[in-house]
Amino acid sequence: MLNEVDHRPDILDCIANLSSDEVFTPPNMVDKVLDALPEEVWSNPSLKWLDPATKTGVFLRQITYRLMIGLKDKFPDEEERRQHIFQNMIYGIGITELTALMARRSLYTSKNASSEESVAHFQSPNGNIDYENRTHTYVNGNCKYCGNKETDAQLGGRGEDQERHAYKFIHLTAEEASNMKFDVIVGNPPYQLKDGGHGSSAAPIYQLFVQQAKRLQPRYMSFIIPSRWFSGGKGLDKFRAEMLADKRIKVMYDYPRASDCFPGVEIKGGVMYFVWEAEYSGDCEVHTLIGEEELPVTKRPLNEFDVFIRYNQAVPIYEKVKDRNEETLDKIVSSRKPFGLATNFADYDQINNPDKVKIYANKKTGYIRRERVQVNSSWINSWKIFTAKANNIGTESPDDNLNVIIGEPGTCCTETYVVIGAGQLHSKEQAENLKKYLQTRFVRFLISLKKVTHDATARVYGFVPNLPMDQTWTDEKLYERYEITQAEQKFIESVIAEMK
pLDDT tens, residue by residue, 364-411: 999 999 999 999 999 999 999 999 998 877 777 767 788 999 999 999
Q: Long-range pairs for 106-115 at CB < 8 Å and ≥24 separation?
A: 106/12, 106/56, 106/57, 106/58, 106/60, 106/61, 107/57, 107/60, 107/61, 107/64
The helix or strand, by DSSP H or E, that contains position 87, with its residue range, turns out to be helix 78-88
pLDDT at 155 over 60: no
Strand partners, 294: 289
Give the neighbor-by-neighbor strand order of the sheet with 417-420.
Answer: 404-407, 384-388, 417-420
State the average pLDDT over residues 114-138.
93
Same domain, residue pair 290 and 346:
no
Residues 257 and 381 in one domain: no
At 9, the pLDDT band (50, 70, 90 cuts) reads very low
Domain membership flag for residue 318: no
Residues 6+ apart with CB under 8 A from 328: 461, 462, 463, 464, 465, 466
Mean pLDDT confidence for 187-204: 73
pLDDT at 338: 96
The rounded mean pLDDT for the chain is 90
Distance of CA 63 to the CA centre of its chain: 26
Q: Is residue 484 part of a domain?
A: yes
Q: In the predicted model, is pLDDT for residue 113 greater than 80?
A: yes
Same domain for 244 and 137: yes
Provide the pLDDT for residue 301: 97
Average pLDDT of the segment spanning 142-148: 89
Q: Are residue 18 and residue 61 in the same domain, yes or no?
A: yes
Q: Which among 201, 195, 204 is positioned nearest to 226, based on CA atoms? A: 204
Mean pLDDT for the stretch of residues 183-191: 96
Q: Is residue 238 part of a domain?
A: yes
Whichever domain contains 146, its CATH number is 3.40.50.150
Comparing C-alpha atoms, which of 332, 333, 326 is closest to residue 465? 326
- Report if residue 165 sits inside a domain: yes
Average pLDDT estimate for 209-226: 97
Domain assignment present for 273 = yes
Same domain, 26 and 66: yes
pLDDT of residue 148: 85
**Is residue 299 located within the same domain as residue 335?**
no
Do 349 and 479 reside in the same domain of the chain?
yes
Q: pLDDT per residue over 221-275, tens digit each?
A: 999 999 999 987 778 999 999 999 999 999 999 999 899 998 888 888 899 999 9
| Whether residue 258 is found in the same domain as residue 333 | no
Examine the domain organization and report whether 144 and 64 are in the same domain: yes
pLDDT greater than 70 at residue 19: no
Instruction: Determine the Cα–Cα distance for residues 96 and 271; give it in Å rounded to an integer.
Output: 23
- Whether 324 is in a domain gets the answer no
**Position 158 in a domain:** yes
Residue 490 located in a structural domain? yes
Q: Which of 149-153, 340-344, 426-430 has the lowest mean pLDDT?
A: 149-153
Q: What is the mean pLDDT of residues 64-73?
A: 97
The reported pLDDT for the residue numbered 194 is 65
Predicted confidence (pLDDT) per residue in 282-341, tens digit: 999 999 999 889 999 999 999 999 999 999 999 999 999 999 999 999 999 999 899 999
- State pTM to two decimals: 0.88
Q: What's the structural domain count of the chain?
A: 2
Domain check: are 296 and 338 in the same one? no
Residue 269: the pLDDT is: 86
Instruction: Say what the pLDDT of residue 72 is.
Output: 97
Q: Which residue has the higher pLDDT, 15 or 386?
A: 386
The number of residues making up the chain comes to 500
Domain range for residue 93?
2-312
Share of the chain above pLDDT 90, in %: 76
What is the CATH classification number for the domain harbouring 393? Answer: 3.90.220
**What integer is the mean pLDDT of 475-495?**
96
What are the residue ranges of helices labelled H in 201-286? Answer: 206-215, 237-245
- Model confidence band, residue 163 (pLDDT cutoffs 50, 70, 90): low
With 90 as the cut, is the pLDDT of residue 13 above it? no
Are 57 and 95 spatial neighbours (Cβ–Cβ below 8 Å)?
Answer: no
- The tens digit of pLDDT for each residue in 446-484 reads 999 998 888 889 999 999 999 999 999 999 999 999 999
